[in-house]
Amino acid sequence: MADTLLKLDGVATAYGQSQALWDIDLEVPAGSAVALIGRNGVGKTTLLKTIIGAQRLSGGRMTFQGRDVSALGPHQRARAGIGYVPQGRHIFPHLTVRENLETGLSALAGRAGGAGAMSKSAIGAGIPDHIFDLFPKLAQIINRKGGVLSGGEQQQLAIGRALAGQPRLLLLDEPTEGIQPSVVQQIEDALRRIRAELGVTVLIVEQYLDFAWSFADSYRVMQRGRIIRAGSTREETAAEVAHLVNI
Ligand SMILES: Nc1ncnc2c1ncn2[C@@H]1O[C@H](COP(=O)(O)OP(=O)(O)O)[C@@H](O)[C@H]1O
Ligand SMILES: [Mg+2]
């Protein structure tokens, strides 16, 4: 049995008086890729925000690498090794590609064996070389402002920024949304390498079931703030769960 990297037990959260997640149990084994699927508005983004600490737990507990992190804020969880690629990417439009990548380095502050242990790039001080190896395009556009990039370039930058913090767990919220098919394939290839070569565990929100099935080992379906179904993408087909996700 693989070690459990992330574990949620009975997690709940609310926006003010409005409860958004109920009784979430989730285990993400180290080295795995888990796809979180479900219709719009069911709580997928809210669950990722709860995992990164941007939303407070109103119930339950969360452990990361066996440590209870339920009470930690976003910066502490990032330092613990949780990386996040938000829905819509949230690139800083007035910062260059290099500066956007550098913002990701803050997750390394105070981390044992962190910044000093990695190979530094000649392109951007402190930005790991493997980011440019995964996304050569970023090296070519290193001085361009974030706001002028295409959707695909912004997505590569958002993933690169998260990787700059050397996460053990990478959360991605709809990385293929609004991106042309040729770039979707590049992103999938990069995510495979991030798993295989960097040993990063992945939890991905993905509406596009073919992508989720080809990339992830297991899936969870959300409905109205709960996980209502879980299974293996190897033992079941996407068609068997599509009715729970499609409108
Ligand atoms: N900042 C917010 N304030 C209040 N309600 C929110 C906020 N963000 C999301 N919600 C509500 O929480 C529910 C889940 O939203 P979300 O997590 O964004 O769903 P999904 O990512 O699955 O589309 C929805 O009913 C949404 O309207
Ligand atoms: Mg969402």
69-87 per-position pLDDT tens digit: 999 999 999 999 999 999 9
Can you list the positions of beta strands (E) in 30-130? 33-37, 59-64, 67-68, 82-85
**Domain housing 62:** 4-244
Q: Distance, CA 197 to ligand 1 centroid (Å)?
A: 34
Rg (CA), the chain: 17
The DSSP code for 106 is G
The CATH number of the domain holding residue 83 is: 3.40.50.300
- Return the ∠ at Cα 164 (arms to 158 and 169), rounded to 5°: 80
**Res. 142 pLDDT band, cuts 50 70 90:** very high
Taking only the tens place, the pLDDT of each residue in 232-241 is 999 999 999 9
Q: Say if residues 8 and 57 touch (Cβ distance below 8 Å).
A: no
- Strand runs labelled E in 147-192: 169-173
Question: Which tens digit of pLDDT belongs to each residue from 157-193?
Answer: 999 999 999 999 999 999 999 888 888 999 999 999 9
Q: Which residues surround ligand 2, an ion (CB under 5 A)?
A: 44-45, 87
- CB within 8 Å of 11: residues ≥ 6 apart: 21, 23, 24, 25, 26, 50, 57, 59, 60, 61, 62
Quick one: which atom of ligand 1 is closest to the CA of 49? Answer: 17
Cα–ligand 2 centroid distance for 78 (angstroms):
20
Taking only the tens place, the pLDDT of each residue in 9-18 is 999 999 999 9
For residue 44, the ligand closest to its alpha carbon is: 1
Q: How far apart are CA 61 and CA 104, in angstroms?
A: 27
At residue 116 the predicted structure's pLDDT band, cuts being 50, 70 and 90, is: very low
pLDDT (0 to 100) of residue 117:
44
How far is the centre of ligand 1, averaged over its atoms, from the C-alpha of 192 (Å)?
Answer: 29
When divided into structural domains, the chain yields a total of 1
Specify whether the CB–CB gap between 130 and 193 falls below 8 A: no
Atom of ligand 1 nearest to the CA of 222: 22
